Amino acid sequence: DAKTTQPTSMDCAEGRAANLPCNHSTISGNEYVYWYRQIHSQGPQYIIHGLKNNETNEMASLIITEDRKSSTLILPHATLRDTAVYYCIVRVGARNAGNMLTFGGGTRLMVKP
C-alpha cells in the first residue's frame, strides 16, 4: 500500500471549514483513499473514501487531485466535536483481507471556539 504524509497538527475555528491535506504520491491506480478519525482514543470512525472522483457525504467532502497524488478532506462547518486525529489511508480495493488498513500518525485537528 502507498505511504501517506499528513501534517502533524492543525487548528480550525469553530464554524469554519477544516481542510486536511494528505499526500500519497506513490498511489497506484487501483488504490482507494480512505479517511478515518479517532476521538479521545475511541475506535477509529470511518468518514469517507474515494478512488478518482470527488466524493461527498453527510460528514465531509473528499477532493482528489487529477493525478491522484494528493487529496483533501473538507469538514464544511467544523464543530468542537470534530476535534480528533484524522487518518488518511490508501489501500487496494481488492477482495483480500490482507489489505488491512495501515494507520500512520495522522493529523491532530483542534477546533477552537
Residue from 7, 3, 1, 12 nearest 86 by CA: 7
Pairing state between β 9-13 and 107-112: parallel
Among 14, 19, 21, 103, binds another protein (CB under 8 A): 103
Cα separation of 55 and 113, whole Å? 28
Number of residues engaging another protein in binding (CB under 8 A): 24
Q: Nearest to residue 46, comparing CAs of 58, 64, 54?
A: 58
In the numeric block, which cell numbers belong to residue 66? 487529477
Q: Does 53 bind another protein (CB under 8 A)?
A: no
Shortest distance, position 15 Cβ to another protein, whole Å: 28
Using the rule CB under 8 A, is 44 a contact of another protein? yes
C-beta closer to another protein: residue 14 or 49: 49
Binding residues for another protein, rule: CB under 8 A, are 32, 34, 36, 41-46, 49, 87, 93-98, 100-106
